[in-house]
């Protein structure tokens, strides 16, 4: 099982920026202890960072039950859709890769049910091993709609992780 080693929030991934003609957006995410004591993803959308910054919305996303979510990365497409990728695991679930998202019409701070990107089939056995140094959620600069997610997983139990790259887009982004 993977959890933050303490209750101190640590911002993960880069601070994502999106510039619209009407406003600018910064997105950030970090792991927190959720309502069920499993690790969850806290995320923020900050507007007008170059004027008077304001937290436009924020939320905590937890996959549910005893499933831990950590090592998140977040981005926004040109239509304002947000995607949050993360690692997750539990005592019965090998570390895997999932994502969740929201569209501008959703209630502020809410994310949809998560979807699987890559199911892990092993776990790390090195007690001093690191996780999540290689995770990213980015927008394709060509179409402004395609999210690219990179994260790590274990194909077999041991000390050798693998990188998985996936892409997807929200139907409303054209």
Please state the pTM of the whole predicted model: 0.89
The pLDDT score that the predictor gives to residue 126 is 83
**Residue 27: closest CA among 70, 64, 77:** 77
Q: How far is CA 89 from CA 8, 20, 37, 38, 126, in A?
A: 20, 36, 13, 10, 16
Check pLDDT > 50 for residue 5: no
Q: What is the pLDDT of residues 117-130, one digit of tens each?
A: 999 999 888 887 77
Q: How far is CA 167 from CA 11, 54, 68, 105, 149, in A?
A: 23, 30, 23, 23, 6
The pLDDT score that the predictor gives to residue 65 is 84
The pLDDT score that the predictor gives to residue 132 is 61
Residue 132's Cβ-side half-sphere holds a number of Cα atoms within 13 Å equal to 23
Q: Concatenated DSSP letters for 84-142?
A: EEEEEEETTEEEEEEEEEE-TTSPTT--PPPEEEE-----B--TT----SS-EEEE-TT
- pLDDT-derived band at 112, boundaries 50, 70, 90: very high
Contact 146, 163 (CB under 8 A): no
């Amino acid at each position: 099982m993977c959890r933050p080693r303490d209750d101190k929030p640590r911002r993960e991934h880069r601070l994502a920026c999106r510039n619209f003609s009407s406003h600018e957006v910064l997105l950030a995410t970090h792991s927190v202890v959720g309502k069920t004591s499993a690790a969850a993803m806290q995320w923020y959308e900050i507007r007008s960072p170059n004027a008077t910054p304001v937290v436009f919305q924020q939320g905590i996303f937890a996959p549910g039950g005893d499933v831990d979510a950590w090592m998140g990365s977040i981005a926004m497409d040109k239509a304002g859709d947000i995607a949050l990728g993360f690692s997750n695991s539990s005592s019965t679930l090998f570390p895997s890769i999932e994502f969740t998202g929201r569209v501008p019409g959703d209630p502020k701070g809410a994310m949809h049910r998560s979807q699987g990107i890559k199911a892990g089939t092993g776990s790390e056995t090195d007690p001093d091993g690191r996780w999540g140094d290689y995770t990213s959620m980015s927008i394709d600069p060509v179409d402004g709609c395609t999210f690219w997610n990179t994260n790590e997983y274990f194909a077999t139990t041991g000390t050798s992780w693998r990188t998985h790259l996936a892409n997807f887009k929200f139907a409303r982004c054209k």
